[in-house]
């Protein structure tokens, strides 16, 4: 079975899940964090190389202050609680996004989880925190432009690989599979460059109802998709045989 090397998940639908139960949105976020833990373990056991979870977008800062604060605290608690398990499961943790915009307690939690897991050799788990793909691309453009301005880089040397090496996901491979829960069919500023050729899977399941069984089914469906990368079927068959 051809397995995706890099999976990205837009974990969406916590608020609606809670609303359906007559509970505050925060209740959905708590359940959502539990699901994230289960899916991280499942992905590691299934031999996925890199799992990137969209936990908080640059646009999510626009939510009511109380919800933002709740999410920041929940993320901090999640990391503190999960660090030992990540080490046990040999999972290396890192983040992409604007780390400096996060509250100090969360920056500290992030840094301590990164340090504790830095020698883990198994799956690479990436949290996208205060992440927005357009901002990431603009930052990469600025880095490249600065190198040109300083005479370190010639314009003719700029190609797709060089550009990608300035993105925060480097050196992770491009996304093979992007999953979004809750029925929305949009990318919401998540890994735009890195998903140029990824397979997209949209499920109606709300994130708090997502489970290992559905995750495994999506991965199995992926193995039957024909990724032609612009070529025709016959060329694709030659490439994969
Ligand atoms: C995803 O669930 C979690 C975050 C964006 C942090 P939502 O909070 O977006 O839930 P819905 O989309 O309102 O149901
Ligand atoms: C995307 O979900 C961000 C995360 C899952 C962290 P949103 O719920 O914020 O996306 P929109 O606003 O519906 O596009
Ligand atoms: Mg949402």
pLDDT at res. 1: 80
pTM over 0.95: yes
pLDDT at res. 51: 98
Counting as low any pLDDT under 70, the low residues of the chain are: 240-241
Ligand 2 binding pocket (C-beta < 6 A) is 10-12, 54-57, 60, 184, 186, 188
Hey, what are 193's tokens? 């460059």
* Ligand 2: nearest atom to the Cα of 60: 9
Question: Which of 3.20.20.70, 3.40.1180.10, 3.40.50.10470, 3.30.429.10 is the CATH number of 6-240?
Answer: 3.40.1180.10
* Ligand 1: nearest atom to the Cα of 29: 3
pLDDT at res. 238: 78
Hey, what are 3's tokens? 């397995």
pLDDT at res. 55: 98
Please identify every residue annotated as catalytic.
12, 60
Q: For 21-31, how does the pLDDT look when each residue is reduced to its tens digit (9 = 90+)?
A: 999 999 999 99
Hey, what are 66's tokens? 């109380």
Ligand 2 centre to CA of 149 (Å) is: 37
- Alpha carbon dihedral 176, 188, 160, 7, in 10-degree steps, equals -20
178 phi, psi to nearest 5 deg: -115, 125
Ligand 3 centre to CA of 52 (Å) is: 17
Distance CA 227, CA 207 (A): 27
DSSP 102: S
Give, for ligand 1, the residue of 9, 15, 29 to mutate: max count of ligand atoms closer than 8 Å to Cβ: 15
Nearest to 184 by CA among 6, 7, 11, 4: 11
Ligand 3 centre to CA of 159 (Å) is: 35
* Ligand 1: nearest atom to the Cα of 13: 14
pLDDT at res. 152: 98
pLDDT at res. 241: 66
Q: For 196-212, how does the pLDDT look when each residue is reduced to its tens digit (9 = 90+)?
A: 999 999 999 999 999 99
């Amino acid at each position: 079975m051809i397995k995706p090397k890099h999976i990205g998940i837009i974990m969406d639908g916590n608020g609606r899940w809670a609303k359906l139960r007559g509970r505050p949105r925060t209740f959905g976020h708590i359940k959502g964090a539990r699901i994230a833990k289960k899916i991280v373990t499942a992905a590691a056991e299934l031999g996925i190389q890199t799992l990137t979870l969209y936990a908080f977008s640059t646009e999510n800062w626009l939510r009511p202050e109380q919800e933002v604060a709740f999410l920041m605290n929940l993320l901090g608690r999640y990391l503190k609680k999960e660090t030992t398990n990540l080490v046990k499961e040999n999972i290396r943790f890192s983040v992409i996004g604007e780390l400096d915009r996060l509250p100090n307690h969360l920056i500290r939690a992030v840094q301590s989880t990164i340090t504790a897991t830095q020698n883990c050799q198994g799956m690479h788990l990436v949290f996208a925190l205060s992440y927005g793909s357009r901002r990431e691309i603009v930052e990469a453009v600025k880095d490249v432009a600065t190198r040109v301005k300083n005479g370190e880089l010639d314009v003719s040397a700029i190609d797709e690989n060089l550009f990608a090496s300035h993105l925060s996901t480097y050196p992770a491979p491009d996304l093979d599979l992007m999953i979004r829960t809750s029925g929305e069919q949009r990318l919401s500023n998540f890994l735009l460059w890195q998903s140029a050729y990824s397979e997209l899977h949209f499920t109606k399941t709300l994130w708090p109802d997502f489970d290992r069984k559905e995750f495994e089914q999506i991965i199995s469906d992926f193995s039957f998709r024909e990724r032609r990368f612009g070529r025709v079927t016959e060329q694709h068959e030659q490439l994969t045989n």
